[in-house]
Amino acid sequence: MLSLQVSGARLSCLDEHEQRWSIEIADIILIAEYTTDEGPHLDDYFLVFVTVENGIPFFSKCTFYAEGRDEVFECLLKTFDMPVEFKLCSSTAWASSVLWPRDLAGNEYFKFSKVRPSDLGSKIRKILLGPQLEYKISDSMRTYIDDATAKRTPGRGEPEDLK
C-alpha cells in the first residue's frame, strides 16, 4: 500500500519497501487529478504533483487512495490556500481536472483522444471493451507548465522581484 506524507518541507510517496519519490513542497507548480476506466479491479484514480527542479519540470504521480492523503491535503490547503475539492471521486471514465493553482482549478489537465485500432487484436479489444484512449497534457496546461518552468529557471523569465 502506498502512502503520502509531509515531513518538514517535503512531500513523499512511499511503499512498504522504499521511497518512490520525494519533492520540495515549495517546488510544486500544479496539482491535478485524473481517472481512467480501468476500475474497479485496477487502480483508476491518480494525483499528479508537477514540480520544477533545476529548470526541469517533473511529474510525480501516486494513487488517489494512498494512505495519508487527507492529512497531506490539509497541509497543502494551508500552504497554498487551496480548496480540497476532489471533482472526480465518482468518475468511472477517463477524466482529469486541475486542483491547484486556484485560477486553473477545474480546467482539464489531460486531453484524451481515441486510438485507432491498428491490428486485429486491438480491433477485437475495441469491440469487447470499447475504444482505447491515449492522453497527453492539454495545450493550456503545457503552456502554463512551460511558463512556470521559465520563471523558476535562473537566467530565464523575469526575476521574482519584478512580478
Q: The domain containing residue 14 runs over which residues?
A: 3-110+140-162
User: Does residue 79 lie within any of the structural domains?
Assistant: yes
Residue 82: inside a domain, yes or no?
A: yes
Q: What is the DSSP string of 151-163?
A: HTSTTSS--GGG-
Contact by Cβ (8 Å): 138, 111: yes
Q: Please report whether residue 126 resides in a domain.
A: no
Q: What is the pTM of this model?
A: 0.83
Task: Check residue 159 and give its pLDDT.
Answer: 46
Q: What is the pLDDT of residue 155?
A: 63
Q: Is residue 134 part of a domain?
A: no
Q: How many C-alpha atoms does 162 have within 13 Å on its Cβ side?
A: 4
Q: How many domains in the chain? A: 1
* Selection from 140, 122, 121 nearest residue 131 by Cα: 122
Residue 10 falls inside a structural domain:
yes
Mean pLDDT, consecutive 10-residue stretches, the chain (163 aa), reads 93 91 96 88 92 94 96 92 83 91 93 81 74 85 95 63 41
- Please indicate, yes or no, if residue 36 is contained in any of the structural domains: yes
Q: Tell me, what's the pLDDT at 93?
A: 85
Please report whether residue 124 resides in a domain: no
Residue 77: inside a domain: yes
Residues 99 and 33: beta-carbon distance below 8 Å? yes
